[in-house]
């Protein structure tokens, strides 16, 4: 994961995408934890492991082991995090370590491919026009999944029908954001 700190980017989106890509290659999912100051004019982004934060069990007593949920995708309180700083004079985003006891270490093994929470969404969005996520498309999740199985990218084979359905719902919710009921009647 040290290769994260060897690159700088001209845009914060590129810096976050680069960090996520390096994390994915090493078996870790990274997410934006917070932006400082919050709002539009931030100059610092704190990135952390997707398993960071406290684990809150929602398990019920007496559930048979074969019906228990997979715990490898749940939060472990992973302390790994770092920050992306905007060097305002050069308009460059540079990753920096956070000085802390164990901020540079994960407290869990790398995830198996496809287990990262944002992985299916990222894979589907990479080929969004191919899989019917373009504006106006109303393909069913089953149709998108069938189309994606011919993709040469091996990561696409890890995507399931529910992943496609979840991404479609997210995409449609973003499409409808800000529209009122009146917009649908006209």
pLDDT tens per residue, range 136-169: 566 777 777 777 777 777 666 677 777 777 777 7
Q: Are residues 80 and 17 in the same domain?
A: yes
CB contact at 8 A, 147 and 130: yes
Q: Classify strands 81-87 and 30-36 as parallel, antiparallel or unpaired.
A: unpaired
Q: Is 63 a member of any domain?
A: no
Number of structural domains the chain divides into: 2
Q: Is the pLDDT of residue 6 over 80?
A: yes
pLDDT at 83: 92
Give the confidence band of 68 by pLDDT, cuts at 50, 70, 90. Answer: confident
Q: What is the pLDDT of residues 90-106, one digit of tens each?
A: 688 988 888 887 788 88
What's the burial of 184, exposed, middle or buried (CB within 10 Å: 0-12/13-18/19+)? Answer: exposed
Q: Are residues 90 and 152 in the same domain?
A: no
Q: Is 80 a member of any domain?
A: yes
Q: Is 178 a member of any domain?
A: yes
Q: Are residues 30 and 92 in the same domain?
A: yes
Q: Are residues 92 and 168 in the same domain?
A: no
Q: Is 104 a member of any domain?
A: no
Q: Is 70 a member of any domain?
A: no
State the average pLDDT over residues 6-10: 85
| CA atoms of 100 and 3, how far apart (whole Å) | 19
Q: Is the pLDDT of residue 35 over 70?
A: yes
| CA atoms of 103 and 78, how far apart (whole Å) | 9
**Mean of per-residue pLDDT scores for the chain:** 77
Structure tokens at 167: 């991404």
Q: Is 145 a member of any domain?
A: yes
What's the burial of 119, exposed, middle or buried (CB within 10 Å: 0-12/13-18/19+)? Answer: buried
β-pair partners for 97 = 82
Q: Is 110 a member of any domain?
A: no
Q: Is the pLDDT of residue 88 over 70?
A: yes
Residues of the domain holding 136: 119-185
Q: Are residues 142 and 82 in the same domain?
A: no
Q: Are residues 82 and 135 in the same domain?
A: no
The model carries a pTM of 0.60
Q: Are residues 46 and 127 in the same domain?
A: no
Q: Are residues 88 and 139 in the same domain?
A: no
Q: Is 69 a member of any domain?
A: no
């Amino acid at each position: 994961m040290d290769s994260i700190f060897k690159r700088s980017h001209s845009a914060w989106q590129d810096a976050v995408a680069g960090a996520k890509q390096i994390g994915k290659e090493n078996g870790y999912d990274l997410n934006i934890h917070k932006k400082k100051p919050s709002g539009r004019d931030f100059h610092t982004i704190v990135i952390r492991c997707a398993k960071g934060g406290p684990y809150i069990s929602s398990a019920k007593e007496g559930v048979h082991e074969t019906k228990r949920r997979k715990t490898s995708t749940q939060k472990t309180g992973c302390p790994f995090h770092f920050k992306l700083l905007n060097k305002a004079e050069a308009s460059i985003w540079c990753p920096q370590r956070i000085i802390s006891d164990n901020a540079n270490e994960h407290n869990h093994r790398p995830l198996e491919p496809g287990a990262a929470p944002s992985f299916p969404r990222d894979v589907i969005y990479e080929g969004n026009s191919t899989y019917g996520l373009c504006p106006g498309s109303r393909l069913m999740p089953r149709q998108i999944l069938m189309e994606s199985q011919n993709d040469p990218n091996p990561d696409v084979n890890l995507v399931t029908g529910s992943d496609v359905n979840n991404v479609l719902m997210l995409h449609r919710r973003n499409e409808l954001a800000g529209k009122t009921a009146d917009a649908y009647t006209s």
